[in-house]
Chain A
Amino acid sequence: MAPPATQSAVVGTGATRLPGAVGSGSGPQSSLERFFATSAGRVGARLLLIALILLAWEYAPVARATRFWMSSPSAILGTLWDWLFDGTIWAHLESTLLVMSEGYVVGCVAGVGIGFLLGFFSRLSRVLAPLLAGFYALPKIALAPLFVILLGVDNSSKIALVAVTVFFLVLTSTIDGVREVDRNTVNALALMGATRTEIIRKVLIWAALPWIFTGMRLAVRYAFTTTLLAELIAANRGLGFLIELNSGNFNTTGAYAAIVVVIICSVLLTELLSRLESRMSHWVS
């Protein structure tokens, strides 16, 4: 549903850059080309593009009904501004982050713990493997209504859902990590006289760590998505609930504002993760 003005604006930016790229080589166009090649230039170009889209969105000559559906940046910004100062946004953000992190921590701890257990006792894991595979394949969101009945509409049902989602991701990567350990390394330690406990402590746990980190990193995004979905389905607080509430009231501006908050959250989350990752992976080849 992009308004026509937006399209022409995008094409417009492309048009100003094209002659430079073709290389007519003269004056302002080629210096513009050079400017876009620098990192400051790229950021500038990006901001310019966003500004153009926002302007087009704000001033597009559209019918009143269309304007109602698409809202406008200034209205969204206004809503965000109000939410920021009347505390609305903080309450919902807090709820979402709380549900997500509590579910995440519970899921990770259980997943790593039980994963190690199943990894160390391979007979046990062979018995349980088909059951786990079945649960792993199940989209956990299907359990949401059930958790609501069992645990109520408040946070505990959503925490449980997030925990279950995270649990299976971390569980499988932990089991894989323990199982993929190099047999020769374990043998080498056994020949040195290492006990089973020592082999677990000195080899298996360490060898599984990169796998566990991979699972945990993946699980962060799943935890966020699951939290939002759970809040969309049944909740009385949280960002998902905020989107659902405003959409239900036909307050499109409010829904867009909540989505903006979600986008900001996911960008920050991604950034945080990639920083953590680059710090952790110094010995993970």
Chain B
Amino acid sequence: MNDLTPARAVAADAGTPAAKIRLLCAEKTFQVRGQDIEALHPTDLDIRPHEFMALVGPSGCGKSTILNMMAGLMRPTAGEVLYDGQPVTGPNRRVGYMTQKDTLLPWRTTKDNIRIALELKSHATPRAEAEDRVRQMIELVGLKGFENHTPAELSGGMRKRAAMARTLIYEPETLLMDEPFGALDSQLKLLMLDQLQCLTQHRRMSVVFVTHDLGEAITLSDRIVVLSARPGRIRAIHDVKLERPRDVFKVRFTPAFSEQHERLWDELKDDIIKGTDV
């Protein structure tokens, strides 16, 4: 991949400030039992500063792979991932990453799990202040009364919320979220979406957000990236033209929302139908 493709040339002189995160011809191939499986076709993608971007697409289209590469947990097989114009080579400490499977520590209670980032030297916080922020977070994600439960004693949805609180508490400038609300019932999901929107707008975070739920994507995002089935490639990028701040409880009943939903669905349905019998 030494030849300078046009896409790459454009990206290279576009200047860094325009993009918080940038994929440059990034591709990923996995070796499974000696066979090469192409998870992500060479892909260019820019995440703008303070942007809320959703990735949607059928299962196995490389959504999680993209997040892993942005977090620096996975190197692209070829191509590059830039963060603030710098190549990502190791764990990217500027991002908060909420993985699909939560990584709460089983020996810590909910509040101790949520506090953990504040115990680290990199986010050192006086004890009293840390306690205060933990309390606020617990209230924010609706886990009051479960402060002293261990993860094993929480439901799937509660664990998701605890994981979210743990990621949000240290206010990373960029949030990567992999299906954060999958296990929540729809009422609770709306509440969480509202909180997330509030917090990310207020802190001016950049967010990349993987989801299966088109409604969720439209409600929160500035742009929605539609990926096609394996090997993943970008099929389209939709701008969501809904005013901010959005009322997450009502926005779904507006005509603009329905129209957006329909366009997305048209884009996706073939792949989703194809994806389900994989």
Binding site for B on A (CB under 8 A): 182, 184-185, 187-195, 198, 202-203, 206, 209, 283, 285
Which residue in chain A gives the minimum CB-CB distance to B104? A185
User: What string of 1s and 0s marks CB contacts (under 8 Å) between B90-131 and chain A?
Assistant: 011101110101010111000000001101111100000000
Inter-chain residue pair count (beta carbon < 8 A): 60
B103 near A185: Cβ-Cβ < 8 Å: yes
Q: How far is the CB of B73 from chain A (nearest CB, A)?
A: 5
Kindly state whether residue B83 has any CB partner on chain A within 8 Å: no
A191 to B173, CA, bound (A): 12
Chain B residues with CB under 8 Å of A188's CB are 97, 99, 103
A200 to chain B, nearest CB (A): 13
Given contacts A187-B73, A187-B91, A198-B120, are A192 and B106 in contact (CB under 8 A)? no
The majority secondary structure among interface residues of chain B is loop
Query: Using Cβ atoms and an 8 Å threshold, which residues of chain A touch B218?
Result: none
Q: Which 10 A-B pairs have the closest CB atoms?
A: A193-B122, A190-B91, A188-B103, A185-B103, A192-B117, A193-B93, A184-B103, A283-B107, A194-B120, A206-B107
Closest to A188 in B: B103
Chain B residues closer than 8 Å to A198, beta-carbon distance: 120-121
Residue B217 lies at the interface, judged by CB distance under 8 Å to chain A: no
Given contacts A194-B120, A195-B122, 19 further A-B contacts (CB under 8 A): A184-B101, A185-B103, A187-B73, A188-B97, A189-B116, A190-B91, A191-B73, A191-B91, A192-B96, A192-B122, A193-B121, A193-B123, A195-B120, A202-B105, A202-B116, A206-B107, A283-B106, A283-B152, A285-B106
B150 within 8 A of A: yes
Contact in complex: A192, B170 (CB < 8 Å)? yes
Complex contacts, B95 vs chain A, CB 8 Å: 191
Q: Is B71 an interface residue (CB 8 A)?
A: yes
A188 to B93: give the CA distance in the assembly, Å: 10
Q: State the CA gap A193–B92 with chains docked (Å).
A: 9
A211 to chain B, nearest CB (A): 13
Known: A187-B91, A285-B152. A192 touches B123 (CB 8 A): yes
Closest residue to A195 on the B side, CB-wise? B121
Q: Which residues of B contact A203 (CB under 8 A)?
A: 105
B152 contacts A184, C-beta separation under 8 Å: no
How far, in Å, is B248 (CB) from chain A's closest CB? Answer: 27
Question: A198-B121, A206-B105 known; A191 and B150 CB under 8 Å?
Answer: no
